[in-house]
Chain A
Amino acid sequence: MYRVDFNKLRFLICDDNPHMRRILRTLLHSFGAREVYEAEDGATALEMYTHYVPDIVITDWSMPIFDGLELAQMIRQPESKGNPYAPIIMLTGHSEKRRVTVARDAGVTEFLAKPISAKGLYQRILNVVANPRPFIKTKTYFGPDRRRNTTNTYIGPERRGSGEVEVMQQPSLLEKARSSI
Chain B
Amino acid sequence: MAKDKPGTIEVQSFGTHHVITQPNPLRKVLLRVPESDLDDPIGRAEKALAGLSGEFKEWMSIEADRLSTAYDAIKRDGFDDRTREELFRAAHDIKGDAATFGYPSAAVAAESLCRIIEHAPDLGAVPPQLIAHHINAVQAIVRERTKLDTAVVAGVLSKQLRGITDEFLTHANRDRPEHLEAILAPSIVPNE
Contacts and interface: CB of A to CB of B under 8 A. Distances in A.
A132 B59 CA distance: 36
A6 B49 CA distance: 18
B interface, how many residues as a size bin? Answer: 35 or more
Given A27-B49, A136-B20, A137-B18, A19 B2 contact: no
A27 B30 CA distance: 19
B162 interface: no
A97 B117 CA distance: 18
Interface stretch (B87-95, B131-139, B149-157, B164-172): B87-95
Contacts of B12: 165
B8 interface: no
A92 B41 CA distance: 23
A47 B175 CA distance: 44
A96 B188 contact: yes
Contacts of A136: 17-20
Contacts, number: 180
Interface string B20-42: 11101111111111110101011
A138 interface: yes
Interface stretch (A38-46, A115-123, A148-156, A169-177): A115-123
B19 A95 contact: no
Interface string A26-53: 1101111000000000000000000011
B80 interface: no
B104 to A, nearest CB: 8
B146 interface: no
A175 to B, nearest CB: 24
Interface string A94-121: 0111101000000000000111101101
B129 interface: no
Contact of A32 (B2, B41, B51, B114): B41
Given A160-B14, A162-B15, A54 B185 contact: no
B181 to A, nearest CB: 9
A166 B188 contact: no
Contacts of A132: 24, 26
A31 B29 CA distance: 13
B143 to A, nearest CB: 18
21 contacts: A2-B30, A2-B31, A3-B30, A3-B37, A19-B63, A22-B52, A27-B45, A31-B41, A55-B2, A56-B26, A62-B88, A93-B95, A97-B188, A114-B97, A115-B96, A115-B97, A115-B98, A119-B42, A121-B45, A132-B24, A138-B17
Interface of A: 1-6, 8-10, 16-17, 19-20, 22-23, 26-27, 29-32, 52-56, 62, 83, 85, 87, 92-93, 95-98, 100, 113-116, 118-119, 121-122, 128-130, 132, 134-139, 145, 160-166
Given A56-B26, A114-B96, 14 more contacts: A2-B32, A5-B28, A5-B29, A5-B31, A85-B22, A97-B185, A97-B188, A129-B26, A132-B26, A134-B20, A136-B17, A137-B20, A139-B16, A160-B15
Interface of B: 1-3, 6, 12-22, 24-35, 37, 39, 41-42, 44-49, 51-52, 59, 62-63, 88-89, 92-93, 95-101, 107, 111, 114, 182, 185-189, 192
